[in-house]
Amino acid sequence: MDKKKVKNYMTSDVVTIDVNGNARDVIEAIRHTKHDGFPVVDGRKVVGYIAARDLLFVYPTTPIDRVMSRHLIVADADMSINDAARVIFRSGIQKLPVVNDEGDLMGIISNADVIRSQIEHVSPEKVFKFIDTLRMLHDVDPKLNREIVSVNNLLPTQSKIYEDELEGRMYEIKKGLAEPIIVVRRPGKLILVDGHHRAVAAKRLGIKELDAYVIDISEDVELGLEKTAREMNLKTLDDVKVLDYARHPLMAITHRLVRHN
């Protein structure tokens, strides 16, 4: 994760409010963008932040510099995304202006950007835990290697993925930020364990190979993952369905709660 920087995930096209403006300018910006807050700038220099809540009980003609927050928490473009995540979640601030050494605005990073950067994160610990599980379930002696594997030869074990996450993985691949996938290699098979969004993203982009943690199993034993793939009639990545965000299980639960309430 160290290679993932704020500059890779921030939004560069930022709507700002001029320090010489008034509350009416912020109201108009909210109406047009649906955003709930904006950096306040003097030229290119960030001098404050104005949020919708700052406009409560304020006249439209009130000058911005009288109601904006001057207590700024900002990010550096080369800051690690993990460090930015700590600042955002510990401070409770949803968006951080990104500035250079002179205080000039370069972009903005939000909690949604941070969450997107963390999806499908692979760590060596995750790989070793899976290897331990294989040992316990199948009495095998797996060997781990880091290799480049063919995307077209992957056997999926997950029947569906989600469009919003897929777009995030495509973005990361284009930026060279994609995490390795995890696969199990048995004679004649390359079984995709983790990284279905990355694999499908690579296929969409016409990328033939991906970096992978390859777990080699020489024993002649069918894994539960293979059985799952067979039962779901999964043979290639083309068999994986891509669902839109609105059909995500979390969204379905949210909609049900809203209706019942």
47-63 pLDDT, tens digit each: 999 999 899 999 999 99
Condensed to tens digits (0 to 9), the pLDDT of residues 10-57 reads 999 999 999 999 999 999 999 999 888 999 999 999 999 999 989 999
pLDDT at residue 256 in the model: 43
DSSP string, the chain: -TT-BHHHHSBSS---EETT-BHHHHHHHHHHH--SEEEEEETTEEEEEEEGGGGTT--TTSBHHHHSB-----EETTSBHHHHHHHHHHHT-SEEEEE-TT-BEEEEEEHHHHHHHHTT---HHHHHHHHHHHHHHH----EEEEEEEEGGGEE---SEEEHHHHHHHHHHHHHT-PPPEEEEEETTEEEEEE-HHHHHHHHHTT--EEEEEEEE--S----HHHHHHHHTT--SGGGSEEE-GGGSHHHHHHHHHHHH-
Token pair in block for residue 166 = 């897929």
What residue ranges do the domains of the chain occupy?
Answer: 6-117, 119-250
Same topology between domain 6-117 and domain 119-250: no
Residue 149 has pLDDT above 90, yes or no: yes
Short-list 141, 87, 126, CA closest to 109: 87
CATH class of residue range 119-250: alpha beta
Q: Which fold does the domain 6-117 belong to in CATH?
A: CBS-domain (3.10.580)
**Mean pLDDT score across all residues of the chain:** 87
Condensed to tens digits (0 to 9), the pLDDT of residues 100-139 reads 999 999 999 988 788 777 665 666 778 888 899 899 888 8
Q: Do 242 and 204 contact (CB within 8 A), yes or no?
A: no
pLDDT at residue 121 in the model: 62
**What predicted TM-score, i.e. pTM, was given to this entire model?**
0.59
Condensed to tens digits (0 to 9), the pLDDT of residues 192-202 reads 999 999 999 99
Mean pLDDT of 168-186: 88
